[in-house]
Amino acid sequence: MDRRGQPPDHQAANTTPRTMPTSTIPTSIPTPAIPAALSEHLAQLRQLVNGALAERSEAAPGCPASLREAIKYSVLGPGKRLRPILVLLAAEACGCSPERALPAACAVEMVHAYSLVHDDLPAMDDDDLRRGRPTCHKVFGEAMAILAGDALLTRAFEVLATELRPHDVAAACCAALAAAAGPCGMVGGQCDDLDAQRLTAITDPAGQLALLESIHARKTAAMINVSLKLGALVAGASAAEHEALQGYGQRLGLAFQIVDDLLDVGGDEAALGKRVGKDIDRGKLTFPGLLGVDASRAQAAELVRQACEALAPLAPRGERLAELARYVVERDH
């Protein structure tokens, strides 16, 4: 039986081959050169986020010490902090200070950290390595990892509800984050991703691509998109600013996932801090598996071009977001 309770032959008998010809597998993906000014700004934002997350992981005197350790291990680990940085950059692009958007940035990263902890569990993706370290359940046990994820998810909404003002902005942020992370967003996308039965029932490439895009629009892009939305909400952005950021976020989210798929076939395990080659091993539907490596790269580059174009109404305040998008598509981890 495989990890989803299906015999291996069931998959083999019903799927079109999803492995790539080895000649098309790249040995590496070039490391991007981030413009120095952006790199410095991102480092400052990352530091702000890390400090704010550390503060919010300590506060809560009634929290059992063992649970607190598992929470801190998961949320303070060495991640890229892409989503909270997007919150802060979106707020800045709409004329707001990053400090004011920090609670929203922390909430998004807490939900992201919860999703990684639960995704790594044996019942889901069954991973032992994340961010270059043993996964939460390998260190603290499965029960504690489930609880740490639960705690991060609920704490995220507490942070939004108690720290953001005015109340209508706090409520709008709670609603948007719940929609993005919930059954019609990330959890729904994860559900369809795990549902091997449905994937194997579709055999035509166009149908497979549509399903793959629909899964990743919810599983990956929704959290990226809502990060921008929260930044815009905190900043009191105009309708035109919201629209520009959402147009950017939808395309960036999909491009990010395509690059994630490419890194799974050609990335460096040490740089990524997680296992590679798992998608192919499991016969998973992926962009390089469906389109090939070169077409996937071209698709990611085109999405980033469109994402930057969508930022036009914010010019020149959207420039950092545009630079970040170019980095995201060329990243090596």
**Residues making contact with ligand GRG (CB under 6 A):** 79-80, 82, 115-116, 118-119, 124, 131, 186-187, 190, 219-220, 260
Query: Measured from the CB of residue 105, what is the shortest distance to ligand GRG in angstroms?
Result: 13
Q: Is the peptide bond before 78 cis (omega within 30 degrees of 0)?
A: no
Of 264 and 323, the one with the shorter C-beta distance to ligand GRG is: 264
**Helix, strand or coil for residue 165?**
coil
Nearest 5°: phi and psi at 133?
Answer: -135, 165
**Maximum C-alpha span of the chain:** 56
Nearer to ligand GRG, 41 or 331 (CB): 331
C-alpha span between 290 and 271 (Å, rounded): 25
Distance (Å, whole) CA 95 – CA 231? 10
CA 153, 156, 161 angle in degrees (round to 5)?
A: 135
Minimum CB–partner distance for residue 15 and ligand GRG (Å): 20
Read off the DSSP letter of residue 19. P
Q: Does residue 92 contact residue 319 with C-beta atoms inside 8 Å? A: no
Could you give the CA distance from residue 199 to residue 207 in angstroms, rounded to a whole number?
10
Cβ closer to ligand GRG: 35 or 77?
77
Nearest-CB residue to ligand GRG?
A: 79
| Minimum distance, C-beta of residue 177 to ligand GRG, in the bound complex (Å) | 13
Under DSSP, the state recorded for 128 is: S
- Please give the full DSSP string across 230-261, using - where no structure is assigned: HHHHHHT--HHHHHHHHHHHHHHHHHHHHHHH
Q: In angstroms, what is the minimal distance from the CB of 259 to ligand GRG?
A: 9
Of 154 and 238, which has the nearer Cβ to ligand GRG?
154
What is the Cα–Cα distance from 41 to 74, expressed in whole angstroms?
25
Q: How far is the CB of 232 from ligand GRG (least distance, A)?
A: 20
CA-nearest of 265, 257, 262 to 223 is 257
| Strand extents, DSSP E, the chain | 129-130, 133-134
- In a 3-state reduction of DSSP, which class is residue 130? strand
Write down the least CB distance from residue 219 to ligand GRG, Å: 5
First to last CA, the chain: 32
Min CB(149)–ligand GRG separation in Å = 8
| Nearer to ligand GRG (CB atom), residue 115 or residue 296 | 115
Task: Find the shortest distance in angstroms from Cβ 106 to ligand GRG.
Answer: 14
Comparison of 11 and 190: residue with beta carbon closer to ligand GRG: 190
Residue 194 in contact with residue 247, Cβ under 8 Å?
Answer: no
